[in-house]
Amino acid sequence: MIYHLRTPKTFRKYKKFMAEELLPGVCSLCTKDKSIKKFKHWRIVENRFPYDLIAKTHHIIISSRHVVYDKLNKAEKKELDLIKSTYIQIKYQMFMEATKKRQSVPEHFHIHLIVFKD
C-alpha cells in the first residue's frame, strides 16, 4: 500500500500536472514568480500541491539558482543554515527534504516547510 500526504483531490491534480502539464526542460520551481519571503540566495514559495492531509501551511524554500544540493556554494549553504536556525524555526514546525529517489524536482534543491493541522 502506498501512503500519500495529499488528499485524493490534490494528489490527482499533482499526478495530472506531472504527466501532462510539466513542460520538458522547464523547471517548475524556477518558474514560480510569487515569493512569500526572499533572502539573498533563497526564497520561500507556496507549494502548488501541498501535503494537505497533514499540513495547514506547506511552503517550499528553494535556491535562487537552479542547482542540486551538491552544487550549492559556501555562501548559499551558510545562508540556508542561518535561515533554518532562525526564520524557519520561528515560522514552521517541520522541514522535510526528500531522498533522491523520491524528489519530484531532483534538479532544483528545495526543502518542504510545514505547519501541521491542529
Residue 83 in contact with residue 39, Cβ under 8 Å? yes
Domain ranges (residues) in the chain: 8-116
- pLDDT, tens only, 56-113: 999 999 999 999 999 999 999 999 999 999 999 999 999 998 776 666 666 889 999 9
- Please give the CATH number for the structural domain made up of 8-116: 3.30.428.10
Element (H, E) at 102: none
Task: Provide the 3-class DSSP secondary structure of residue 104.
Answer: coil
Q: Which pTM does this prediction carry?
A: 0.88
CA–CA separation, 96 and 92 (whole Å): 11
Among residues 29, 101, 108, 30, the alpha carbon closest in space to that of 67 is found at: 108
